[in-house]
Amino acid sequence: MSRLDVLDWRRRVGDLYAAVRASAAPADGHALWTAVRDELFATHPASPLPPAARAGFRGLPVAPYDPALRFEVPVLEAEPAVREAATGTDGTVRFERVGRVALPGVGDLDVWWLDQYGGGLFLPLKDPGPGYGGGRYVLDTVKGADLGGARDPREALVVDLNFAYAPSCAHDPAWACPLPPPGNAVDVPVHAGELATG
* Interval 140-191: pLDDT, tens: 999 899 999 999 988 999 999 999 999 988 888 887 788 899 999 999 999 9
What is the number of residues in the chain?
198
pLDDT value for 88: 59
- Of the chain, the percentage scoring pLDDT greater than 70 comes to 97
pLDDT single digits (tens) 93-130? 899 999 999 999 999 999 999 988 788 999 999 999 98
pLDDT value for 157: 97
- Helix (H/G/I), strand (E/B), else coil: 6: helix
Q: State how far the Cα of 107 lies from the Cα of 134, in Å rounded to an integer.
A: 18
Q: State how far the Cα of 137 lies from the Cα of 128, in Å rounded to an integer.
A: 15
Cα angle at 156 between 181 and 69, to 5 degrees?
65
* Cβ atoms within 10 Å, residue 13: 21
Q: State how far the Cα of 195 lies from the Cα of 113, in Å rounded to an integer.
A: 25
What average pLDDT is seen over the chain?
93
**What confidence category does residue 197 fall into, taking pLDDT thresholds of 50, 70 and 90?**
low
Amino acid making up residue 119: G
Phi/psi for 54 (5° steps) reads: -75, -30
**What confidence category does residue 90 fall into, taking pLDDT thresholds of 50, 70 and 90?**
low
Q: What is the DSSP letter of 162?
A: G
- CA 66 vs. chain centroid, Å, equals 17
What are 87's strand-pairing partners?
Answer: 91
